[in-house]
């Protein structure tokens, strides 16, 4: 039975229900409330805000302890949030956390990130949320230094809330605790990924390509950006919204306005 | 051989290389330049900005006429753009168009849309771009009324460009030409999808769920929004950017700033 005096905390990620980053995150937040986690049954990195339309979704409970329930789902991270909030919770959760992702979601990586897709989906459903990432892709990444920062930011949002339909993108540098300098609230760095495809030929003589690439920071000296914070050993916190409108462009295209009756 | 005096036009979509919306779009834009299209080998609606990391990508030329080349790719719409701009074009294209999508991508649907994922990816690669959608999901949707609007907006952007790293989200109402009232430049409507999962049981007695839902417009009377334009029989044009920062929230969370040396 749910303890109605405790906050209800929804958890998801994109690395899969078995990822150590998810276990660390549940370990931290379960001190503050009852946890229900719904996570992908396999790694779904790079899934962005994708949803599954043409295949049915399945939800399987894999852990049912007092205060911590974990489900796996065959869908994307956003599917996990949609289906989880619809089928796995007794009421709308008080807060949602996503991660801790194995790898950076700073700058433009936010748009490719399944971790952030899940966090954004939660806030679109009226649940305040935070996406956490550590700048270490390895499966056995060391989350020990990140823990205190994750916990403090989680507590702040649990206590203070966030404006409607917004979430936080929190990235933690890959450093021992003694070398992390603090926390910076900042904006998304203007930058893009430059693709480099590695071309190979299979044993049947057909070409195939592996996607690789490197990040181009267009403003490495801008001290109010997440990449600057991370490069200077700070935890970066960027508030995120799902309004894609480029307001500064509206004026540029006013000539497209046309009324057939005029 | 490419005609170097003609614009090079890159085309993609999320409904697949065989979709009639893609054929209509190629038919319109090929009057203005040489077309190279790279589209998914199967329908990839709802794929958002997803990329394929753990599987190799394949690219197959399926049409090679003077002025129009079409490739299919096994990846997502964003993969089609990344791989296409890397492997299928002789130089950076002058413009990219995505669609014409079978179904609306207005309001918050922009975040789930593979059509818009492809258009945004092109602008991140420095190619001005436009995503086009018709509010008709059917495979045999009638694009005849949309054609003139698609062509005019394409010509405007080809001639006037767009500010760097922005794209347009163009949605056309499902109406005969005589009932379309004109074109409105507008902003993304504030609204979300309310999920409704349909639960079924398979012959092996396991539950599964189909994602369905309905759109909630939080501001149906706001005349500067894309949903208002469409509901009032206008073509809606929203300029789009990939900066997710919620600038209005920065002040709300300044207390998170912390310097360990203080």
- CATH topology classification for B8-189+219-256: Stationary-phase Survival Protein Sure Homolog; Chain: A, (3.40.1210)
Is residue B61 less than 8 Å (CB to CB) from chain A? no
Q: Specify the pLDDT at position A239.
A: 98
- Report the residue of B73, B170, B211, B219 to disrupt the A interface, i.e. the one with the largest count of A CBs within 10 Å: B211
A216-252 pLDDT per residue, tens = 999 999 999 999 999 999 999 999 999 999 999 999 9
Confidence of residue B262 (pLDDT cuts 50, 70, 90): confident
pLDDT at B1 over 70: no
Domain boundaries defined on chain B: 8-189+219-256
Q: What does the H/E/C string look like for B182-241?
A: EEEECECCCEEEEEEEEEEECCCCCEEEEEEEEEEECCCCCCCEHHHHHHCCEEEEEEEE
ipTM of the complex, rounded to two decimals: 0.94
pLDDT at A28 over 70: yes
Please report the residues numbered 139 through 178 in chain B whose beta carbons come closer than 8 angstroms to any beta carbon of chain A.
153, 156, 160, 162-163, 165-166, 168-169
pLDDT at B179 over 60: yes
Distance, in Å, from the CA atom of B162 to the CA atom of B122, rounded to the nearest integer, reads 13
pLDDT at A22 over 70: yes
Q: What is the mean pLDDT of residues B70-97?
A: 97
Q: What is the mean pLDDT of residues B61-89?
A: 97
Are the beta carbons of B163 and A245 separated by less than 8 Å? no
Are the beta carbons of B211 and A83 separated by less than 8 Å? yes
**Mean pLDDT for chain B?**
95
Distance, in Å, from the CA atom of A153 to the CA atom of B138, rounded to the nearest integer, reads 46
pLDDT at A35 over 70: yes
pLDDT at B2 over 60: no
Q: Which residue has the higher pLDDT, A75 or A261?
A: A75
pLDDT at B202 over 60: yes
Distance, in Å, from the CA atom of B149 to the CA atom of B175, rounded to the nearest integer, reads 12
Q: Give the number of beta-carbon pairs within 8 Å between A and B.
A: 259
Distance from CA of A190 to the nearest CA of B (A): 8
Q: Specify the pLDDT at position B124.
A: 97
Given a contact cutoff of 8 angstroms between Cβ atoms, the answer to whether B109 and B75 are in contact is no
Is residue A89 less than 8 Å (CB to CB) from chain B? no
Distance from CA of B135 to the nearest CA of A (A): 17
Q: What is the mean pLDDT of residues A65-74?
A: 96
Is residue A111 less than 8 Å (CB to CB) from chain B? yes
pTM (2 d.p.): 0.95
Q: Which of A50, A192, A257 has its CB closest to that of B185?
A: A257
Q: Rg for chain A (alpha carbons), in Å?
A: 20
Both structure tokens of A258: 């046309």
pLDDT at A2 over 60: no
**Mean pLDDT for chain A?**
95
Share of chain B above pLDDT 90, in %: 94
Q: Which of B24, B53, B71 is nearest to B172 (CA)?
A: B24
pLDDT at A5 over 90: no
Confidence of residue A262 (pLDDT cuts 50, 70, 90): confident
Nearest CA in chain B to A155: B256
A88-139 pLDDT per residue, tens = 999 999 999 999 999 999 999 999 999 999 999 999 999 999 999 999 999 8
């Amino acid at each position: 039975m749910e303890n109605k005096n405790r906050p209800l905390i929804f958890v998801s990620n994109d690395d899969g229900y078995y990822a150590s980053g998810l276990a660390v995150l549940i370990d931290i937040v379960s001190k503050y409330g009852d946890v229900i986690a719904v996570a992908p049954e396999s790694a779904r990195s790079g899934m962005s805000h994708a949803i599954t339309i043409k295949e049915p979704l399945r939800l399987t409970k894999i852990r049912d302890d007092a205060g911590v329930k974990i489900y796996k789902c065959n869908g994307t991270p956003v599917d996990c949030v949609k289906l989880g909030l619809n089928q796995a919770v007794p009421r709308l959760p008080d807060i949602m956390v996503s991660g801790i992702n194995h790898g950076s979601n700073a700058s433009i990586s936010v748009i490719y990130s399944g971790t952030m897709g899940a966090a954004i989906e939660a806030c679109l459903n009226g649940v305040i949320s935070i996406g956490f990432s550590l700048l270490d892709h390895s499966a056995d990444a060391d989350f020990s230094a990140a823990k205190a920062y994750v916990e403090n930011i989680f507590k702040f949002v649990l206590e203070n809330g966030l404006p409607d339909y917004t979430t936080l993108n929190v990235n933690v540098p890959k450093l021992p605790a003694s070398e992390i300098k603090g926390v910076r609230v900042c904006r998304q760095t203007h930058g893009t990924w430059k693709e480099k495809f590695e071309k190979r030929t299979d044993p049947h003589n057909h070409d195939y390509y592996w996607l690789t690439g490197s990040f181009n920071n267009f403003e490495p000296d801008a001290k109010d950006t997440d990449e600057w914070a991370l490069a200077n050993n700070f935890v970066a916190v960027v508030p995120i919204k799902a309004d894609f409108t480029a307001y500064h462009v509206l004026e540029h295209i006013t000539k497209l306005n046309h009324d057939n009756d005029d």
